[in-house]
Structure 1
Amino acid sequence: MGKIQGVTATDGELWRIQKKLINRHLHNLGLGKTPMEEMIRDEVVEMLSALRDDGSNVKVDKFIAPGVLNVLWTLTTGARISKNQLDELLDLFEARSKAFDLTGGTLALYPWLRFVAPEWCGFNLIQEINNKLKKLFEKIIEEHRETWHEGRNDDLIYRYISESKAPNKNSAVFNDDQLIMLCLDLFIGGNNNTSGTLDFGFLLMILHPDVQQKVQAQLDTTFSKNHILEYSDRDKLPYVEAVILEIMRFRHVAPLAGPRRVTKDTYLDGYFLPKNTTILLSLHSINNNAEYWKEPENFMPERFLDENGLLLPHEKLLSFGSGKQFLVHRIHHVRGTKLYLICISFRAKTKKMSATEAQGSSTAEPPAPPEANPKTFAEKQRERLQRLRNLHTLRNEARSHNHQEVIAEDARNKLPANWEARKKRAEWILNDQKAREEAAQSGEDYDRKKLLEISAVDAEKIERKKKRKNPDQGFSDFEAATYRQYNRLVRSMGPKDMEKYEEDKQKYGEAFYGGPHVIIHGLHEDRPEAVDNMVKSLENQIAKRNKYSRRRTHNDDADIDYINERNAKFNKKLDRYYGEHTAEIKQNLERGTAV
């Protein structure tokens, strides 16, 4: 999906939190216990019923995948998947697998192709399929959010929503994108691993009928026909266990384990691995190493049994990788595979189909007819070289384009932080000057014309903005203060105020209308006491001002260590910063002992 999310591609604290959440949910559901076994057993019964109803030769993968997806869907959403959703999910997973089979190798070797030829290399196809999967799970998550209430943890999505709504939860760890990737990790990993292992298991049973007979014989001799198999029965079936282990060793669903990331600079056997290097673990090389496995190219379940037919330890078998990044669906895959294979081997018998039968039961398209005039090797070679030249051309164009973008970005970074605002301001000034000149040539008043273009709504907005910008008008002069006071009084005026207004108007006559020398209405007749107090206050202020001086007093007895007042200030500043370092030198100068 283009992001480091989920549980398979993350590490550190994010991986620990997600893994803990999944493991706790699976534990509460009864992983490896009766509830989980009953869930898988129900899918086995459903599949066996479908096989009996069909009654003919079938392709097993058509019956295995729905059962595996149903188990994963129940764990994630709390209910069995509907028929429409099942068909849609199967089609998307099949298309995704085909897309990776056709293009995955090319993209892995040349990842830069997704920038220059995304359609040709299949990157667009993979992105389209991923977006469809994302939309499918977004719809399911939205339905869960609508029906969620506190304390509801029936399935993984409900539990995740509960965790995300807990106090002090990090939104970078618990969000919808992370939940979608978590679901995709479980479905893609669990479905591909489990279904693929079962497919290979049936294929190997067909190719090795003697092994199939031994498995059936051990089941028949150990249990009765009516016995319902449980996971705990595996201890009584060492040969069946050995067959399952050999299937996982002999045929890998994924010969390479999921990618790992080097978290710090590391040296391994003399090789330097820088931080953030991607590491791929070759499971095929490990499980087919002749040093650990005798005749690794042969299918031999007996390699996991001792002389008495008991199961041997199998620490050397790595089917899912190693380390902390063991996938969470590994547990479900192992137990689900064993229970499926045991139950199906107990009830069904596999055989190899003829070519005619396989063609009749296959839903694949018929092979294309051979070309009438096949191309020669030289023609094919020229076509390949031409395609390679085209790719080189696209790569060089992309490199040149990227270089130009880097230069442009570097030039933008060197500009001041407010260069965009300054640029817009300069453009506005130029346009305004141009419009003013055009108005002057046509004999129009530009300012009046510009004001007339402003609507009443815009004018009101501008006025409100001015008031918000400077709500406190402050003191400008007595006339403005009088005018504001007059407006406040008018706004708060009532009927009784009007009566008092008329009385004052009759009382004061022309003096009622104050001018620029009157502060407040009614104070035009100053009391003699107020005038005397004001004069006395002014005289006191004048007397204080005559005695005050900003110049500091001069001490005649002090040492002369400066030439003028400016040097004195400079010496004080020097002494403040360097006095502790020059104290000894000053003492020597005073004593006359300086060198």
Structure 2
Amino acid sequence: MDPWGLTSTALLACVLFLIFVSLWSQGLKRRKLPPGPTPLPFVGNILQLDFKNMATTFSQLAEKYGPIYTLYFGTQPVVVLHGYNITKEALIDQGDVFMERGDVPIFEDFAKGKGVVFSHGERWKQIRRFSLMTLRNFGMGKRSIEERVQEEAQCLVEELRKTKGCPTDPTFILGCAPCNVICSILFRDRFKYNDKKFLYLMKLLNENFHLFNKPWTLEEDNPQSEFDLENLKMTGVDLFIGGTETTSSTLRYGLLLILKHPDVQTKIHEEIDRVIGHNRVASIKDRRDMPYMDAVIHEVQRFVDLLPLNLPHAVTKDIQFQQYVLPKGTTIFPLLSPVLNDRKEFPNPDQFDPQHFLDKNGKFKKSDYFMPFSIGKRSCLGEGLARMELFLFFTSILQNFTLKPVGDPNEISMKTNYVGFTNIPPRYHLCFLPHKVRRQS
């Protein structure tokens, strides 16, 4: 082809591309979705996002477009909700409409729409109702949920004693404890931490959890029932992943924060020594008499922001939301990070400060902005169990040990290079030294 022919072809291609972009933009404007950055054809806004710090990217976009805006992941629109008021309006005030689960390819490939976390419609309603009932009855055993967690807390303490005060990476041990609680629910028994089957189970759970963090009795005679074997198996997997890795990560982050703030550890020890002492096992009723420990655990969850983007939702029907129209099936990201870091509710949100959850008299102070488990109909069904585990595990550890950092506490870093749907704590070492109760004068 002669040069003039090549030039004409190139010009024609450019013109056609510009026409396509113009039609694409006009098509977007005709929609009544919230405003947002102009997407590119085919790739949408992907190139405009910083996948190493998605929460910051979404906050920057909120400064420009407001608390509700639209992004395009490829050709699919995603509506982002940024802030407490609009998140509450969607997930609580209009929770029946916003209760569907949004589609994420990696989750769909893994779960195939089964289980309790990633299922849809009537299937989700049946499985969630069944899961809640099972958790309330506490898993086919005679012992109460608290007794199971207390037993595991003591096993955890015994495992930590075996470290004999030497520098230890707590990742594995802190993963075993919550996993064993789920095992006691599903299998009626716990495992020893060196059991081969248990180690294999832990390996599978860890691999699946990290996969998610890559950048992006049966009623067979009832044809309407969703209780087939695949659904029940996936529900069990959901309970293991949701009930093991998130609690384990919170425990690891919490111990790291306590190491970094020795004054916090001192106050925790003082409260434990005064309320529980050293001769009995901590119980959940102690929480009402331990406002500082309760505040520390809440602040750990707020500060670490474990699931900053939340899991995606979707609307069950066409709906007018504020001044916009969201078509049925639109994916919604009701972000948790901007709520947990709201400066009006939590002064100095970038600082770890248990005073965020204490009043001027030192009493525990609740906050509607505390939503690490999300809110609404799709909130974490294991929230009650997780809150009990965190209190009993943290209290039992600090009742028996003084945490000693390896090196200067001021040099401790909370940063991790792992990017994904969750914030995963960095690996670190610490020493578990026996704690002696101080005699009250």
Q: TM-score range by the shorter chain?
A: 0.5 to 0.7
Residue 306, structure 1, aligned to residue 359, structure 2: yes
Equivalent residue of 1:164, what SS?
coil
Contact 2:138–2:144, Cα closer than 8 Å, also in 1: yes
Aligned positions of 1:27-426 closer than 5 A: 27-29=136-138, 35-55=144-164, 56-81=166-191, 83-101=195-213, 104-105=214-215, 108=216, 161=217, 163-164=218-219, 169-170=222-223, 173-354=226-407
Distance 2:154 2:276 in 1: 18
1:194·1:337 contact (CA, 8 Å) conserved in 2? Answer: yes
Cα gap change, 1:26 to 1:95, in 2 (>3 Å): closer
Q: What amino acid is the match of 2:112?
A: K
Q: 1:97 to 1:30 in 2, by over 3 A?
A: closer
Q: Contact 1:239–1:311 at 8 Å: present in 2 too? A: yes
Superposed CA deviations along residues 193-228 of structure 1, whole A, max 9, x for unmatched, are 111111111010011110111011111122222022
Residue 281 of structure 1: CA displacement? 2.3
CA change 1:280–1:52 in 2 (3 A) is same
Q: Quick one: which amino acid aligns to residue 178 of structure 2?
A: V
Paired residue secondary structure (1:264) = coil
Q: Quote the Cα distance in structure 1 between the aligned partners of 2:400 and 2:407.
A: 22
> Is the alpha carbon distance of 1:47 and 1:209 closer, same or farther for their aligned partners in structure 2, counting shifts above 3 Å?
same
Does residue 9 (structure 1) correspond to residue 121 (structure 2)? The answer is no
Corresponding letter in the other structure for 1:57: P
What is the CA–CA distance in structure 1 between the aligned matches of 2:161 and 2:395, rounded to whole Å? 18
Higher relative CO (CA 8 A, sep ≥ 6), structure 1 or 2? Answer: 2
Report the Cα distance in structure 1 between the residues aligned to 2:283 and 2:370, rounded to whole angstroms: 24
Contact 1:257 1:280 in 2 (8 A): yes
Q: Distance in 2 between matches of 1:188 and 1:281?
A: 22
2:130 to 21, 33, 49: 21
Note the alpha carbon deviations across 1:40-92, whole angstroms, 9 max, x for none: 12212212112212212211122111111111111112222461221112222
Letter aligned with residue 53 of structure 1:
K
Post-superposition CA distance 1:257-310 (Å, at most 9, x none): 222121112233334322112222211111012132211111111121112111
Matches within 5 A, 1:547-566: none
CA distance in 1, matches of 2:389, 2:316: 33
Q: Which residue of 2 aligns with 1:492?
A: none
Structure 2 residue identity aligned to 1:164: E
Matched residues in 2 for 1:250 and 1:214: separation?
19
Name the CA distance, whole Å, in 2 between partners of 1:276 and 1:173: 22
From the two aligned structures, give the one with the greater strand fraction.
2
Task: Note if contact 1:256-1:280 (Cα within 8 Å) is conserved in structure 2.
Answer: yes
The verdict on how the C-alpha distance between 1:100 and 1:325 changes in structure 2, with shifts beyond 3 A counting, is: closer
- Aligned residues of 2:170 and 2:252 also touching (Cα < 8 A): yes
Other structure's SS at 1:17 match: helix
Find the aligned partners of 2:278 and 2:135 in 1 and give their Cα distance: 32
Change (3 A) 1:3 1:30: closer
CA distance in 2, matches of 1:63, 1:241: 23
- Work out whether residues 259 and 403 of structure 2, in 8 Å CA contact, stay in contact via their aligned partners in 1: yes
* Distance in 2 of aligned mates of 1:2 and 1:339: 32
Paired with 2:319 and 2:219, the residues of 1 have a C-alpha distance of 36
Tell me: CA distance 1:2–1:47, structure 2 relative to 1, closer, same or farther (3 Å). Answer: closer
Is the 1:264–1:276 Cα contact (8 Å) retained in structure 2?
yes
Q: Is the 8 A contact 1:192 1:253 kept in 2?
A: no
Change in 2 beyond 3 A, CA 1:226/1:296: same
Alpha-carbon distance in 2 for matches of 1:309, 1:11 = 44
Relative distance call for 1:223 and 1:174 in structure 2 (3 A) is closer
Q: Which runs of 5+ in 1 are unaligned?
A: 109-160, 359-595
**Counterparts of 2:201 and 2:333 in 1: how far apart (Å)?**
28
Q: Secondary structure at the match of 1:350?
A: strand
Q: Please say if residues 8 and 258 of structure 1, whose CA atoms lie closer than 8 Å, have aligned partners that are also in contact.
A: no
Q: Which amino acid aligns with 1:184?
A: V
Name the counterpart of 1:120. none
Which letter does structure 1 place at the counterpart of 2:184? T
* Residues 5 and 30 of structure 1, relative CA distance in 2, 3 Å threshold: closer
Tell me, in whole angstroms, the C-alpha distance in 2 between the residues paired with 1:48 and 1:321. Answer: 30
Counterpart CA distance in 2 for 1:215 and 1:266 is 48
2:345/2:369 contact within 8 Å kept: yes
Look up the SS of the partner of 1:75 in the other structure: helix
| Residue 171 of structure 1: how far off its partner (Å) | 6.0
Measured in 1, the distance between the counterparts of 2:366 and 2:161 equals 38
Please state whether the residue corresponding to 2:334 is helix, strand or coil: coil
- TM-score, normalization by structure 2: 0.63
Equivalent positions of 1:458-469 (< 5 A) are: none
Write the letter of the residue equivalent to 2:382.
Answer: H
Contact between 2:157 and 2:396, CA under 8 Å: does it hold in 1? no
Which SS does the other structure have where 2:247 is aligned? helix
Kept after mapping to 2: 8 A contact 1:6/1:185: yes
**Ranges in structure 2 where 5+ consecutive residues have no aligned partner:** 1-109, 412-441
Does 33-42 or 345-354 show the bigger shift?
A: 33-42
Contact 1:9 1:260 in 2 (8 A): no
Distance 1:331 1:227 in 2: 23
Q: Secondary structure at the match of 1:349?
A: strand
Aligned counterparts of 1:200 and 1:62: Cα–Cα separation in 2 = 14
CA contact (8 A) 2:111 2:118 kept: no
TM-score by length of 1: 0.47
C-alpha RMSD of matched pairs (Å)? 2.3
